[in-house]
Amino acid sequence: MFEVLGFYKFINIRSLKKNKVLLQDFLIKKKVRGTIIIANEGLNGTISGDSKDIQSTINKLKKIFSFKEFDNSNKSKSIFQPFHKPKIKIKKEVVPMSLTLNSKERNLDTHLDPNQWNKLIKKKDTHIIDTRKPFEFDVGTFKKSVNPDVDNFRDFPKYLNKLKKDKPVAMFCTGGIRCEKTSVYLKKKGFKNIYQLNGGILNYLKKTKEKDSLWKGECFVFDNRISLKHGLKVGSYFMCSGCRKPISPKDKKSKKYEEGVSCPNCHDNLTDTQKARFRMRQKQINLAKKSGSKHIFQKEFK
């Protein structure tokens, strides 16, 4: 059983290149996989490994960057390693929004626990915003939520500028970090009633019983588990090899679904040349399975 840890921390970080090397070497040594993004404004990541090695990594992060606790973190389990290798990435921002966040700017008073969140989004005048990408929204979301339909988070402020300032705004995302920035942005724009789901969807699904839940569907995650359900159990979605988008069991029954080639989302957009190339790749994967070895594509996208 592997432990999966998602986390973020807004803190001033210097010597990014030096810290990248330190972390990369440490993760390799501990056989911990996943991705950690470091920027001058903080760090954000999801990693997986043995529980002892994950705890060692937590201790290492706190020591290197001199902090006591994450701004938010969540743990879940997986019966398989959901990541292929360890990656440390240096970025301008932990979440790209053209807005650098100072830890002192975080609106902690606006963070709602699952019970408070349920009460807020049941109110008719609350504007519920799913800040994630459209394909994530399609996998699952809260009742009556609206998705801005932007693929690049940098374009998100264009949507926010259209909102009414006198209406309560309830925001949510997978782990909470996107809402941290969005909350600060709206506050600077003069919004008063801004709220966010503390710990994001993952915290909600972990702590809320299904009978009390206002969530519909599953939650897409950026690892090989693809999606999670209540209790953070692995969901029913798969990944299309053609477009790299999540597909449901229902999608797999479609005439436009072809293993390793296409799904209803991309079938009509792929060229014959692309489909032929994908079929050849899938043929090689099938042959590798029969011989008991792994094709390079399996290693990268399993």
Distance CA 7, CA 171 (A): 18
| Average predicted confidence (pLDDT) for the chain | 91
Amino acid at 106: R
Q: Supply the pLDDT for residue 300.
A: 40
- At 226-282, the pLDDT tens digits run 999 999 999 999 999 999 999 999 999 999 999 999 999 999 999 999 999 999 999
Measured CA to CA, the distance from residue 109 to residue 107 in angstroms comes to: 6
Dist CA 70 CA 19 (whole Å): 17
Percent of the chain exceeding pLDDT 70 equals: 97
Confidence of residue 191 (pLDDT cuts 50, 70, 90): confident
pLDDT of residue 16: 96
Helices 114-121, 200-207: crossing angle, 10 deg rounding: 100
pLDDT in tens, 197-227: 999 999 999 999 999 999 999 999 999 999 9
Just list the catalytic residues: 173
Give the C-alpha distances (Å, rounded to integers) separating 150 from 28, 52, 153, 157, 264: 35, 39, 7, 10, 21
Percent of the chain with pLDDT over 90: 77
- What's the angle, vertex CA 187, arms to CA 198 and CA 148, rounded to 5? 70
Rounded to whole angstroms, the Cα distance separating 177 from 217 reads 21
